[in-house]
Amino acid sequence: MKKIGFISTRIAGTDGVSLEIYKWYQVLERNGYKCHFFAGELDTPPERSLLEPNAHFETAEIREIHDALVGTTRRENALSKKIQELKDYLKEKLYEFCDVFGIDIIIPENALAIPMNVPLGMAITELIAETGIPAVAHHHDFSWERNRYLINAMQDYIHYAFPPTLNSIRHVVINSAASRQLSYRRGISNVIIPNVFDFESPTHPSPNGKKLKKELGLDEKDLFVLQPTRVVPRKWIERAVELVSLLELKNPKLVVSHETGDEGDLYAERVLEYAHRLGVEVIYMGDRVGTARCFKEVCQQKYTIDDVYLTADVVTYPSGYEGFGNAFLEAIYFRKPIVVNRYSIFIEDIEPCGFEVISFESFVTKKIVDRLREFLDGENLDRFVDKNYELGRRYFSYKVLEERLLPLIESFR
């Protein structure tokens, strides 16, 4: 039995990277591999895990390093020394992780893509260089995809470890644009494995639907509009607010199921102010929602994300940019109509599959609202959502993940 070691900054909660790790874990385990986990925050089985707080990107020391490296082109000598010291420490912990669990293959999850924790990325790179351990580096987003890294004092580190070019690494990206850019910028060949969902396992009705709507102040006949994302600027939640306003509902509410991300609370406040001006109530309920599709056996929050999706009437997904689109797949899985902005990855990797959605270009109009009303009131709604589900099964299922991931893992034999 081959032993796989997942390495990341965190493997916990409902962020996209953690959710995809869980999906890969499920597929690998059902194919005879045993998985172990290393990160700065973990929801994984303790007997299979090594928790190292300095692997997280939110510890005070790591955040201080990160902030000192962005927005400037020079770094102090003392900062370089601190980075090297933390890199050496984390490398020792990674050696310990591999030795204790007898790891055969490692899967760094975004830790070699975006430089949120520079010492960790460097430590993983040196571990691979010194041991030759096989690695499948799963990249979700790169530094060149984030404006905050346009000016930085870590170009040497980025070229060294984000991502590294070593013979024993197989590189995986989640969309076509990232594949092209990785090849063009770094000369690195790679494989595209899109985000997936367990379309082979059907949904079940939520027993909490009525209670959830009541708690949100929605009557049984009120339209439940769901924005199933974190509250960060690139999600363009203002567009969802505009949609609800233009619908002219008796009880205009927009429910946001996730908490703020790693970019502060200013945007969340701005959305509330904007919604107030348009007469829409925005409800942030991320502190009450957990996921049933993760490593935690029991959801500690009042509701699961499944409860929220199953209760919703329509899903809004107006993002300006996405690495792929977990929320899109979730809406398709739960057979919900979805209003989606045609962000670049959607246009190239998702739209050609033929999904029936209400799409728009950057801004919401009355025409889009009329299309949504027709979609909701029409006789074809069930046919459309069933068609979407089957397309999801064909293009973004666990079977697709198996077909693309297992050959990479087996290529190390």
pLDDT tens for 256-283 read 998 776 566 899 999 999 999 999 999 9
User: Which of 413, 407, 404 lies closest to 192 in space, CA to CA?
Assistant: 404
- The sheet carrying 358-360 orders its strands as 281-284, 253-256, 225-227, 314-317, 338-341, 358-360
Query: Nearest-CA neighbor of 242 among 339, 313, 336?
Result: 339
Whether cis (ω within 30° of 0) applies to the bond prior to 163 is yes
Strands (E), 174-326: 191-192, 225-227, 253-256, 281-284, 289-290, 303-304, 314-317
Average pLDDT rounded to a whole number, residues 331-338: 96
Confidence of residue 66 (pLDDT cuts 50, 70, 90): very high
SS3 236: coil
What's the pLDDT at 265? 84
Domains in the chain (CATH in brackets) are 3-196+398-410 (3.40.50.2000), 209-395 (3.40.50.2000)
Q: For a pLDDT cut of 70, what percent of the chain falls above it?
A: 98
The answer to whether 233 touches 204, Cβ cutoff 8 Å, is no
Query: pTM for the full model?
Result: 0.92
DSSP state of 118: H
Q: What angle do CA 393, 395, 398 make, to 5 degrees?
A: 60
Burial of 74 (0-12, 13-18, 19+ CB in 10 A): exposed
Contact 241, 273 (CB under 8 A): no
The 3 state secondary structure assigned to 157-195 is HHHHHCCCCCCCEEEEECCHHHHHHHHHHHCCCCEECCC
Q: What is the pLDDT of residues 298-329, one digit of tens each?
A: 666 778 889 999 999 999 999 999 989 899 99
Query: Can you say how many angstroms the Cα of residue 119 is from the centroid of all Cα atoms in its chain?
Result: 22
User: 41 with 28: CB under 8 angstroms?
Assistant: no
CB count in 10 Å sphere of residue 211:
14
How confident is the model over 141-170, as a mean pLDDT? 96
Residue 369 has pLDDT above 70, yes or no: yes
Nearest partner of 325 among 340, 309, 304, judged by Cα: 340
Here the tokens at position 328 are: 């899109």
Q: How confident is the model at residue 297 (pLDDT cuts 50, 70, 90)?
A: low
Res 378: pLDDT? 77
What's residue 300's pLDDT? Answer: 66
Average pLDDT over all residues of the chain: 94
Q: In angstroms, rounded to a whole number, what is the distance separating the alpha carbons of residues 117 and 119?
A: 6
pLDDT digits (tens, 9 = 90+) for 90-110: 999 999 999 999 999 999 999
* 95 Rama class: left (phi>0) / alpha (psi -120 to 50) / beta: alpha
Per-residue pLDDT at 261: 60
CB atoms within 10 A of CB 293: 18
- Structural element, H or E, at residue 276: helix 266-277
